[in-house]
Amino acid sequence: MHRFAKPSVFLKLTDPLLPWLSGATAILIAAGLYFALFASPGDYQQGDTVRIMYLHVPAAWMGLFCYVGMAVCGAMSLIWKHPLADICARATAPIGATFTALCLITGSLWGEPMWGTWWVWDARLTSMLILLFLYLGYIALVNAFDDPERGSKAGSALALVGAVNVPIVKFSVDWWNTLHQPASIVRMDGPTVDPSMQLPLALMILGFTCYYFVMLILRVRLELNERRIRALQLSGMFDERSPGQNTDTPSYDAGHNAEASQ
Amino acid sequence: MNGFLAILQRDLRLALRQGADSVMVVAFFIVTTTLFPFGVGPEANILARIASGVIWVSALLAAMLSLERVFQTDYEDGTLELLTLSPVSLELLVLGKVCAHWLTTGLPLIIAAPLMAVMLNMDQDGFVTLMLAMLLGTPALSLIGAIGAALILGARRGGVLVSLLVLPLYIPVLIFGAGAVEAALLGISATAQLQIMAAILLIALAATPFATAHAVRQAME
């Protein structure tokens, strides 16, 4: 695993991956949207409003997925001091926060016609809102220190502590009597969603997941570039004429080493 | 254990000699609670309805605002560094500091709570449950809050930050604390809520000292 700790190795691995992932994202989301909006039936009760589900459910899934990813990265960075895990956790937070917010917004848009209210204080909605607060707290904490290293470490600890909320979100609909419907996709006796709706839902979930990985790679690259620039500036090697040089030169390691040796 | 008692004694003595801190927390609690009758109007039955929630929220905020005291001054004058270097386990020392924090903030809040309950016209049936719930809840607040207090050591604008970190984690205590009082007011047994609060306290007692000590060590690196 530590082979991947080197930024240049990460870039070498993700460089060929990125176009494929981007392509997959575009195709999956386009196909998912087509099936979701045109080629799937409306609900027998909800009519066309049910199509909000195809955004809402994947967004909720990504909100949780990103948090788990962030907590795992946090654990990796605390246990093995893996430098890329730190960066991945930082890069994941804003993406996860956006998905969580998207989930809450689509949820309330869906709730208005179906439940007759934008918001209810029931367990699922509230725990999701807390998840958003945890994301925001993490982002604020990570950026509150002059030393980014210290910020990442404090953030990792917070991400792990906040992970207690994830099972609460997942099982809130089973533990409490809520307005929100119980689990209907991941359950012991198979999904209760109609097969015609499963296809667009699966496409959208896969598409959102791919989108996350594309964004993750881009954000990690951005962070690596920023670190490299900082390192070069600090070591006095920064040259005005070549900022943002092509991204695959081996000087990443030079930048990284310079940073490590400070 | 000696280390635990020594740090507890030291923090208590500091709090007593510097005096005003505990009083300020209680004063904050009382002032915040007093704001609600102005905000929602003085009708007695409305106030009675919201009393338990108002008292819990004010207690939560008071406990949170006093968190800075747990580590910040020791961090600034270097005491914390010596504590991390000492042969006594840091987890135990952290627990001692949290105990001192609870004794100087949580306990006064519990004593002040019935007073505010009277002023908010809360039914007397809820008083015992309110105090029991706060007895179980406020130590959990101190334990959980200490993590946040340790995480923000050395951060810019730590005071605002700690609220963003700690308040979401306080929500379970708030839910079951207010729920217990609510149940007692309705004449239902509040045992279930109190048991859950006891469970939260025990989990916090077992787990948070490690997280807090870890955060303190990070701040010292």
pLDDT at A247: 47
- Structural domain of A55: 21-180+193-234
Do B164 and A161 count as a contact with CB atoms less than 8 A apart? no
- A109 alpha-carbon distance from chain centroid: 22
- Answer for the pair A256, A228: CB distance below 8 angstroms, yes or no: yes
Do A150 and B218 count as a contact with CB atoms less than 8 A apart? yes
Pick the residue of B151, B161, B174, B193 with the most A CBs within 10 A to test the interface with A by mutation: B151
What's the pTM value of the predicted model, to 2 decimals?
A: 0.82
Distance, in Å, from the CA atom of B95 to the CA atom of A172, rounded to the nearest integer, reads: 32
Closest CA to A259 of A139, A138, A92, A147: A147
Partners of residue A141 in chain B, C-beta under 8 Å:
151-152, 155, 161, 164-165
- Answer for the pair A175, A137: CB distance below 8 angstroms, yes or no: no
Distance, in Å, from the CA atom of B99 to the CA atom of B106, rounded to the nearest integer, reads: 10
Do A144 and B156 count as a contact with CB atoms less than 8 A apart? yes
| Total number of domains constituting chain A | 1
pLDDT at A24: 92
Query: Which residues are CB-neighbours of B53 under 8 A, at least 6 positions away?
Result: B178
Class of residue B205 by CB neighbours under 10 A (exposed 0-12, middle 13-18, buried 19+):
middle
Do B167 and A133 count as a contact with CB atoms less than 8 A apart? yes
Query: Which residues are CB-neighbours of A235 under 8 A, at least 6 positions away?
Result: A258, A262
The answer to whether residue A262 sits within a structural domain is no
Average pLDDT value for residue range A40-57: 79
Is the pLDDT reported for residue B179 higher than 60?
yes
Query: Which residues are CB-neighbours of B158 under 8 A, at least 6 positions away?
Result: A144, B68, B72, B152
Is the pLDDT reported for residue B163 higher than 70?
yes
Distance, in Å, from the CA atom of B105 to the CA atom of A167, rounded to the nearest integer, reads: 32
pLDDT at A171: 78
pLDDT digits (tens, 9 = 90+) for B82-96: 989 988 899 999 999
- Please report which confidence band the pLDDT of residue A258 belongs to, taking 50, 70 and 90 as the band edges: very low
Q: What is the 3-state secondary structure (H, E, C) of A46-106?
A: CEHHHHHHHHHHHHHHHHHHHHHHHHHHHHHHHHHCCHHHHHHHHHHHHHHHHHHHHHHHH
pLDDT at B55: 93
Distance, in Å, from the CA atom of B170 to the CA atom of B95, rounded to the nearest integer, reads: 18
Pick the residue of A129, A161, A172 with the most B CBs within 10 A to test the interface with B by mutation: A161
pLDDT at A241: 53
Do A145 and B155 count as a contact with CB atoms less than 8 A apart? yes
pLDDT at A240: 55
Partners of residue A100 in chain B, C-beta under 8 Å:
none
| A140 and chain B in contact, CB less than 8 A | yes
- Answer for the pair B52, B122: CB distance below 8 angstroms, yes or no: yes
pLDDT digits (tens, 9 = 90+) for B185-221: 888 888 999 999 999 999 999 999 999 999 999 888 7
The answer to whether residue A15 sits within a structural domain is no
Distance, in Å, from the CA atom of B132 to the CA atom of B35, rounded to the nearest integer, reads: 25
The answer to whether residue A133 sits within a structural domain is yes
Do B215 and A154 count as a contact with CB atoms less than 8 A apart? yes
The answer to whether residue A245 sits within a structural domain is no
Q: What ipTM did this prediction achieve?
A: 0.80
Q: Provide the token pair at B177.
A: 């604390």
pLDDT digits (tens, 9 = 90+) for A202-224: 899 999 999 999 999 999 999 88
The answer to whether residue A251 sits within a structural domain is no
- Answer for the pair B147, B208: CB distance below 8 angstroms, yes or no: yes
Is the pLDDT reported for residue A105 higher than 90?
yes
Closest CA to A163 of A248, A75, A68: A68
pLDDT digits (tens, 9 = 90+) for A71-84: 999 999 888 888 88
pLDDT at A261: 43
Q: Provide the token pair at B213.
A: 């000590």
Cβ count near A167 (within 10 Å): 12
| A72 and chain B in contact, CB less than 8 A | no
Is the pLDDT reported for residue B172 higher than 60?
yes
The answer to whether residue A12 sits within a structural domain is no
The answer to whether residue A119 sits within a structural domain is yes
Distance, in Å, from the CA atom of B133 to the CA atom of B126, rounded to the nearest integer, reads: 10
Partners of residue A163 in chain B, C-beta under 8 Å:
none
Which of A130, A153, A161 comes nearest B218 by C-beta?
A153
Residue with tokens 């030169």: A249
The answer to whether residue A85 sits within a structural domain is yes
